[in-house]
Structure 1
Amino acid sequence: MAMMFSELLGRRVLVMEDDYLQASNLTVALEDHGSDVVGPFSDLQGGMSALSRGAVDVAILDIRLGTERVFELADRLAMLKIPFLFVTGYDGGEIPERFKTVQRLLKPVELDEMMVLLAVILSKLDTRH
């Protein structure tokens, strides 16, 4: 039985993930917690255009999207003061110095652990959009 986190209710969560199964599982888990999923997107362009179209409360970023890296989108999120976390199958060595303090989960991700981390991140925000 999964726990429910009120911090996730009604939140718009941008999901960047190029693995279909992981993206699907993550989408279902977020929706089970009452979040509105923006995406999932498997490429940088999809995420950038979604961000330009509407409000996002938090983002989950797979570092590698096919041949692309997600850091351009992470820079945009940071500029907009939207919190995000990284998901990766690799060690922290490929993460640029400016993102060293960003929370990161290693694949395979435990979805319950991710929901807890998202709830904690969201609980630190002052207001809802």
Structure 2
Amino acid sequence: MPDPLTASALRGRRILVVEDEYMMAEDLRCDLEEAGAQVIGPVPSVADALRLLATEMSIDAAILDVNLRGEKAYPVADVLRERTIPFVLATGYEQWALPEAYKDVPRCDKPVDLRHLALVLFN
């Protein structure tokens, strides 16, 4: 059960989840839904995420796994930036290992901690 502050920050939010590891995606989906968020996805690839973004206009935030089956999620990050949708990079990579263009993007270690997620996305 998420703490009340996390739940109040996430309740009713439409959050895109881009994650290629099935169990990680399902755990994150369950945790977000338990906190009251509406999960869009999860989607496992850059192509799937870009297709979804082309049709889904109501997204409050996104969680992007950086490495999706060997492909980097940066094209998805670029679309989110263009649409001014806040997002985090969920990764095991250290901040210094990210490309310069994404150094300002909040990073969450995996598995994603919902309290940290709520703080960096909605505060």
Is TM more than 0.5 here?
yes
> What is the distance in 1 between the residues matched to 2:118 and 2:109?
18
Find the counterpart in structure 1 of residue 70 from structure 2: 67
Query: Which ranges of structure 1 fall in alignment gaps of 5 or more residues?
Result: 125-129
**CA separation of 1:66/1:37 partners in 2, compared to 1, >3 Å: closer, same or farther?**
same
Range that drifts further, 79-88 or 91-100: 91-100
Find the counterpart in structure 1 of residue 42 from structure 2: 40
Over aligned residue pairs, what C-alpha RMSD do you find?
1.5
Find the counterpart in structure 2 of residue 7 from structure 1: 9
TM-score, scaled to structure 2: 0.88
Query: Contact conserved, 1:7 with 1:122, CA < 8 A, in 2?
Result: no
Range that drifts further, 53-62 or 83-92: 83-92
Identical-residue share of aligned pairs (%): 38
Query: Contact conserved, 1:12 with 1:37, CA < 8 A, in 2?
Result: yes
Runs of 4 or more above 6 Å deviation? none
Q: How many equivalent pairs are there?
A: 120
> What is the distance in 2 between the residues matched to 1:10 and 1:72?
26
Cα displacement (A) at 1:12: 0.7
Query: Which ranges of structure 2 fall in alignment gaps of 5 or more residues?
Result: none
* SS, match of residue 82 in structure 1: coil
